[in-house]
Structure 1
Amino acid sequence: MLIVAGLPLDGIRVTDFSWIINGPQTALWLAAMGAEVIKVESQVYLDYMRIGPPAMADGIPGPNRSGIFHNLSYGKKSVTLNLATAKGRELAYEMVKRSDFAIECFAAPHTRKLGLTYDQLRAVKPDIIVISISLLGKTGLEPSQWVGWGPMAASYVGMFDAQAYPGGPPRQTGGTWPDYAIATAVVFHALAALRYRDRTGKGQWIDASMGETVIGEMPEWFMDYFMNGRDRRQMANRDDRMAPHNTYRCKGDDKWIAIAVGSDEEWDALCREMGSPEWTKHPKFGSQFERWKNSAEIDRRLGEWTRDQDHIELARRLQEAGVPAGPVLDSVEVHQDPHLWQWGYWWRLVHHEAGERILPGLPVKCSAIPRFNYASPPDLGQHNREVFGGLLGLSDQEIVKLMDEKVIY
């Protein structure tokens, strides 16, 4: 396993009990920055990201072939351990004793059952930093015991209602982005906790809530109510001030462009790019406020202009003219985007089972770090002997015996 030397978190060890998305994504950031992340898995209940059929290379099933798992697991190690056994839990605690962080993302009752609460882990290692990620946090009233995915968090705090079309039903954002949002946010808190521990010698518990993370992504809705007693309801793509502010159909099958005009200067630039049609000179479009009041007509007329244009080329022209605009790219266009390749976001993994894959890297660059740790994702249990033998000091005979007993399993 290739580890890039000289990364910021060299020497930091993470015992990662988490699964699915939010915990593994947090661990991915730490691994990419140089931490030794040991993912604790089990054949008793495989991580769903290893076995989800849509992500298998060429449709061929296998626990080491999942593209989603690869996306969440590069740079890590993997061991298999049955935490339902007393010996399995004992070995898990031995790993925690030798770690700086422990990560889990189970519902609160399951965390207690597995012996992975903060109180249970700090009894093993008093200065451990425990990261717990859940639907709505693990302290407080009844919802702290609930289980759920990212979309449930967005539903619970009103985002799907807020982003719907006026008068329509709630609309779900595609994917499970709250999982990724909270994972990125938690990395900041993890590094702060590490700094605090290095200064004071004290560990702590990071109790992270997906729901409250989503609230932080939509402050206007809540502040409007807190300050004005007003429920904003659905606004679709409209804005409180800007107009035009919407997506507009372009040439081709389901091709769109987003345009947002926030000043008279940007409006004038848009009008010039359109050839200054007569309708743009009407007084009802003469100021930002007037344009906002007449958003529907602007959307209709602007859509007539964009309909026959290429979304990518039009976005480029508008940007050059000083108009905030961007093409709405589909997944194929995102993978083909030359800027993302040149910037270094996409990278090629050559996997021993799945072959070549294109994976996203970290969305940041650091001038002092030529490359983050993008080592190949681990096979299931690939590092059992390295961790249980090298780190915990078990003999090969002991390891084989524990495998036969389905403890290391």
Structure 2
Amino acid sequence: MDKRLPFEGVKVVEWTQAINGPWTGAWFSDFGAEVIKIESTKFPEMGRVSSPYKDNIPGPNRSVTFNTFNTGKKSFTVDLKHPRGRELFMGLVQWADIVLQNQRPGLMKKMGFGYEELRKVKEDIIVMDISIMGQEGPLVGVGGWGSNSMAQSGQFYYYRFPDSGPLSPGFTAVPDAIGPMYAAMAGIAALDYKRQTGKGQYLDISQLEPMVHFLGPAVLNYTMNNRIQPPIGSRDPDAAPHNAFRCRGDDRWCVIAVFTDQEWQAFCRVLGNPEWTQSAKFATLSSRKENESELEERISQWTMQYTPREVMTMMQEAGVPAGVVQNVEDIVDFDPQVKARELLLTLHHEVVGDYLHTRWPFIMSNTPPDIKTGPLMGEHNHYICTEILGMSDEEFVELINEEVVA
């Protein structure tokens, strides 16, 4: 790539696992930073032992999950419990601009890698500590996963229909997708501050807190009206219809959302202005909300005559917001917008082979990301020891023999 990337020259040491931490690191590596991922052969990073695997055969270099969230990084397998391993880590801290970690709160400090200890090695270091609850407060030290923060942030309360229990959003917990964006923004701000002042800083990043932001109106409703907003499923208090409607085909659906009188009139025209649409029960938004169940049943009788794409096309052409409820096959094989904007890239991995990878969800005209595959476990051990840490080949072999580097 000819153009200089935004993070070119930035150096990151990353000790993370699962999704939130690794995905944060990928924001830096894909945009030019050199990111060294600390790993262990004794305790492989969770992503390496998570499905799906190539050909459904498990292996530390066969996980598509790992490759998805660790693009462009360099892998360094080192035993941080060994005194020489600790020395190597501190050597990398001296080299780095950022140390990024999402281990259980307190572990880094317990191992002698807390912020104050790292500052003694590199005064202007930026340390990004990512955790579920943060590094302070009565729940500090609580471990968990994205589902924990989904629950405790109130999101699970609203991810459901009125008469059902909480629902999971699917493969990736929402905090694991949203958290890295907030973390990356914090890291960018810290880098800018360092550029202006020459000083580093400590970033305490909670996975819970970004999710509370997304409660928005529910928080305002409670603080202003003392009202706990109930779960409403796919409906909306300011629209009717506003739901997913069954269409022709096996488990096929289309979402339709009508907010304004103009959209309602256009919606009725698409249906052919059947007699029921002229009823007083559906004449206004308030009356449609009062009779919403009957309204949805009548709409479903119409949508089931068509495929979801036919429903979407007819509605959109009339100016009514609508969208197919797509599955993965729809997105990968059929969605024309995904194809036109080249959202899915083909990457080639030494073990996995060719696979599809989602590019970052924006297009930059001058500095697009340079996305490479994730590293093999320990792939860059020799490079890191000899090129970055300045060791001889003999010293490198000695580290292998002592099982400091594996």
Q: Would the TM-score normalized by the shorter structure come out above 0.5? A: yes
Does 2:80 correspond to 1:83? Answer: yes
Task: Please give the residue correspondences for 1:2-401 in structure 2 after superposition, counting only pairs within 5 Å.
Answer: 5-52=3-50, 54-141=51-138, 143-175=139-171, 176-336=173-333, 337-369=335-367, 371-401=368-398
Deviation larger for 114-123 or 69-78? 114-123
Q: Give CA deviations for 1:183-234 in whole Å, capped at 9, x if unaligned.
A: 0121111111111111111111111111111111121222111111011122
| Structure 2: distance between partners of 1:151 and 1:347 | 29
| Structure 1: distance between partners of 2:260 and 2:165 | 32
Q: Structure 1 4/99 Cα, relative in aligned 2: closer, same or farther at 3 Å?
A: farther
Deviation at 1:79, TM superposition (A): 0.9
Contact 1:10-1:35 within 8 A present in 2 as well: yes
Q: Structure 1 317/116 Cα, relative in aligned 2: closer, same or farther at 3 Å?
A: farther
| Structure 1: distance between partners of 2:329 and 2:111 | 41
Give the gaps of 5 or more residues in structure 2: none
Q: Give CA deviations for 1:273-304 in whole Å, capped at 9, x if unaligned.
A: 11111111112222222222222221111111
Identity among equivalent pairs (%): 36
| Structure 2: distance between partners of 1:49 and 1:70 | 8
| Structure 2: distance between partners of 1:56 and 1:170 | 29
Q: Structure 1 329/398 Cα, relative in aligned 2: closer, same or farther at 3 Å?
A: same
Contact 2:15-2:103 within 8 A present in 1 as well: no
Contact 2:109-2:115 within 8 A present in 1 as well: no
Deviation at 1:312, TM superposition (A): 2.1
| Structure 2: distance between partners of 1:111 and 1:352 | 33
Deviation at 1:5, TM superposition (A): 4.9
Contact 2:150-2:174 within 8 A present in 1 as well: no
Contact 1:4-1:373 within 8 A present in 2 as well: no
Q: Counterpart amino acid of 2:18?
A: I
Deviation at 1:4, TM superposition (A): 6.7
Deviation at 1:41, TM superposition (A): 0.7
Q: Counterpart amino acid of 1:93?
A: M
Following TM superposition, where does structure 1 have runs of at least 4 consecutive aligned residues deviating by more than 6 angstroms?
none
Q: TM-score, normalised by structure 2?
A: 0.96
Q: Give CA deviations for 1:56-90 in whole Å, capped at 9, x if unaligned.
A: 10012221111111111121111111111121111
Give the gaps of 5 or more residues in structure 1: none
Local SS of the residue matching 2:298: helix
Local SS of the residue matching 1:296: helix
Q: TM-score, normalised by structure 1?
A: 0.95
Q: Counterpart amino acid of 2:107?
A: H
Deviation at 1:128, TM superposition (A): 1.1
